[in-house]
Amino acid sequence: MSEMDALRERCLQCSNCPLARTRNHVVFGVGPVPSKIVFVGEGPGQQEDLRGEPFVGAAGQLLDEMLSIIDLSRQNCYIANIVKCRPPQNRDPLPEEQDACIGYLNEQLRILQPKMIVCLGRIAAMRLIRPEFRITREHGQWSQKDGVFYTAIYHPSALLRDVSKRPETFADLLSIREKARTLKCI
């Protein structure tokens, strides 16, 4: 069994936090291993919980369109979340739920060895880039940690709610495409 498959098996049995009691499925993550680009959302919604796959609801359809702007598809990037089980009523995952779950994502990233990580929304950005990250002010900016490039864009659900954020996000996606080309990720 591959290291990622072994990690998935362990994650599927997880009862580290109370979200385990209300989940239908653990949403571990999908994509090729290794992956040069990884997208990280906050946590599964209702559709994802029912299907066990990240970003399969309305936000997922928009994410697919965003990926195509970067010349990507689900076949050539990895998609995961900060927490693997659905928070009730789609509330933000609590800090203690994130703490209980983040080890799985850290292990995934160690195995995937990405060159670029794109945070989808403020929860992922605050967890992976900086706790005080401000998505409205800092989306589209690049930082580097341990040789990996990080950026954050608005969450697809935010773009569904507020279409006025879409032009800025289009510019961010072009910047991600440029960086991906430079780093030979696409």
CA distance 90 to 127: 18
Secondary structure string (H, E, C) spanning 149-176: EEEEECCHHHHHHCHHHHHHHHHHHHHH
Distance of CA 163 to the CA centre of its chain: 21
Asked if 117 is part of the footprint of ligand URA (rule: CB under 6 A), the reply reads: no
Q: Which of 29, 31, 54, 87 binds ligand URA (CB under 6 A)?
A: 54
Q: Does 31 bind ligand URA (CB under 6 A)?
A: no
Q: 3-state DSSP call for residue 4?
A: helix
Site string for ligand URA, 131-150 (x = CB under 6 A): --------------------
Question: Among residues 102, 158, 118, which one has the least CA distance to residue 31?
Answer: 118
Q: Cα 84 to the chain's mean position, in Å?
A: 11
| Cβ-based nearer residue to ligand URA, 129 or 183 | 129
User: How many binding residues for ligand URA (CB under 6 A)?
Assistant: 12
Candidates 7-15, 35-43, 93-101, 159-167 — which segment interacts with ligand URA by CB under 6 A?
Answer: 35-43
In the complex, the smallest distance separating the C-beta of residue 93 from ligand URA, rounded to whole angstroms, is: 9
Residues that bind ligand URA (CB under 6 A): 27, 41-45, 48, 54-55, 59, 81, 157
